[in-house]
Amino acid sequence: MSEFIQLLGWAGSIALALCGLPLLYASVKDHSVAKNISGGFLGLWLGGELLTLMYAAMLESDRLLPLLFNYSFNIACILGILWIRWRPS
């Protein structure tokens, strides 16, 4: 695989992985999750990330490392958001 294609994969995966950070940061800062973020959305986002992570991991290719990074990072962000949303007061 060319280095340019690998660079595209990593750049895209990092950009997508960072998408959850603003919501996680705002949730930590305000100690709450925005009311317009539904539990259904978070659950589907988490489910989709977990299923796609498992799929990519089963393909066993080193070319999938950017995707594995993206899915793992997003799962960590979602779990942080869910913890803030449903933590005991």
Q: How many CB atoms lie within 10 A of CB 53?
A: 18
The reported pLDDT for the residue numbered 73 is: 92
Q: Does any domain span residue 23?
A: no
Number of domains in the chain: 1
Q: Does any domain span residue 1?
A: no
* Domain with 88 in it: 38-89
Q: Does any domain span residue 16?
A: no
- Its pTM stands at 0.79
- Averaged pLDDT score across all residues of the chain: 86
Q: Does any domain span residue 21?
A: no
With bands split at pLDDT 50, 70 and 90, how would you rate the model's confidence at 1? low
Q: Does any domain span residue 80?
A: yes
Please tell me which residue, 87 or 48, carries the higher pLDDT value.
Answer: 48
Q: Are 81 and 23 in contact (CB under 8 A)?
A: yes
